[in-house]
Amino acid sequence: MPRYNYTYKAINGLVGKAIHRYDMIADGDRITVGLSGGKDSLSLLWTLAERRKRVRVRYELLPVYIDPGFAGGFGAELADTCRQMGFSLTIEKTDHGLVAHSPVNRENPCFLCARLRRKRLFEIADQLGSNKLALGHNKDDIIETFFLNVCYAGEISTMVPRQDFFGGRFSVIRPLAMVEEKNIRRFAADQQIPTFTNPCPSAGVTKRSEIKTMLDGLYRTNRKIKGNIYRALSHVKMEYLLK
């Protein structure tokens, strides 16, 4: 049984706020939900499914998992979790992770793997007749991506809560964009949402992990810093940037 406690109410409120502010979901949408096996994407599927029972807007949810091909995968267990939630999981077996970590790849393994995964998610969403792709990126992910792009790409950019493609015919949405990772962790534990161990050899040793560690140290010095950084991403004074 769902637990409608403080963490559920807090996350549901922020998800609803993001959905309304960025016009993420409309009546009749077919939404492919990209699952990774982590707490974020499964919490997203759970929350969107639960919201569907309580709002007038009708939409479909179609979970998809792109298996990167590593030994020790968890596709069958993830499919079973989805069945318990009332969904049939589409699993796409790939070699994306293996290729990304092979000598033929001259790029960052995570960059290539993520790019290939996103491309395949787009293709599957199109095959399923979806007009939206929902991803489980949260508030911390958005901040970390900003610093990753500044430090390693030399540009000021990040993920956005909603991004339209192909003249608006298809959109990527991130309903957890206003939710902090620590609250999703608590929420997943409260709702007994299972998470699966990532078999990727780069898990925990990426540039994103380094940025996360740096930011965690910064956040400990002042509890307002995370909120200030997040607000700054939508409060840009272009006249004070180099041209």
Looking at residue 2, its pLDDT comes to: 61
With beta carbons less than 8 A apart as the criterion, state whether 67 and 73 touch: yes
Q: Write the pLDDT tens digit of every residue in 33-66.
A: 999 999 999 999 999 999 999 999 999 999 999 9
pLDDT band at 3 (very low <50, low <70, confident <90, very high): low
For residues 108 and 93, give the distance between their C-alpha atoms in angstroms, rounded to a whole number. Answer: 21
> Dihedral angle at the C-alpha atoms of 199, 186, 162, 41, nearest 10 degrees?
30
With beta carbons less than 8 A apart as the criterion, state whether 214 and 142 touch: no
pLDDT band at 217 (very low <50, low <70, confident <90, very high): very high
At residue 204, does pLDDT exceed 80? no
For residues 96 and 91, give the distance between their C-alpha atoms in angstroms, rounded to a whole number. Answer: 14
What φ, ψ does residue 171 adopt, rounded to 5°? -135, 145
What φ, ψ does residue 226 adopt, rounded to 5°? -60, -45
pTM comes to 0.94
What domains are defined for the chain?
6-240 (3.40.50.620)
Q: 26 is written with which tokens?
A: 């409309």
At residue 1, does pLDDT exceed 60? no
With beta carbons less than 8 A apart as the criterion, state whether 172 and 133 touch: yes
Q: Is 135 left (phi over 0), alpha (psi -120 to 50) or beta?
A: beta
Tell how strand 170-173 and strand 162-165 pair up: antiparallel
With beta carbons less than 8 A apart as the criterion, state whether 96 and 113 touch: yes
What's the mean pLDDT when you consider all of the chain?
93
Kindly state the average pLDDT of the residues 166-194.
Answer: 94
Kindly state the average pLDDT of the residues 174-188.
Answer: 96
Looking at residue 148, its pLDDT comes to: 95
Three-state secondary structure readout of 32-54: EEEECCCHHHHHHHHHHHHHHCC
What are the helix (H) ranges across the chain?
A: 6-21, 39-52, 75-84, 96-100, 109-127, 139-148, 181-190, 207-221, 225-232
For residues 2 and 187, give the distance between their C-alpha atoms in angstroms, rounded to a whole number. Answer: 11
Kindly state the average pLDDT of the residues 27-37.
Answer: 97
Kindly state the average pLDDT of the residues 80-92.
Answer: 96
Kindly state the average pLDDT of the residues 56-80.
Answer: 94
Residues of the chain above pLDDT 70, percent:
98
Q: Which long-range contacts (CB under 8 A, 24 or more apart) does 224-229 make?
A: 226/139, 226/140, 226/143, 226/180, 229/143, 229/146
Residues of the chain above pLDDT 90, percent:
77
Instruction: Count CA atoms closer than 13 A to 39's CA, side-chain side.
Output: 15
Specify the higher pLDDT residue, 91 or 109.
Answer: 91
Kindly state the average pLDDT of the residues 2-24.
Answer: 89
Looking at residue 197, its pLDDT comes to: 84
Q: Write the pLDDT tens digit of every residue in 187-199.
A: 999 999 998 888 8
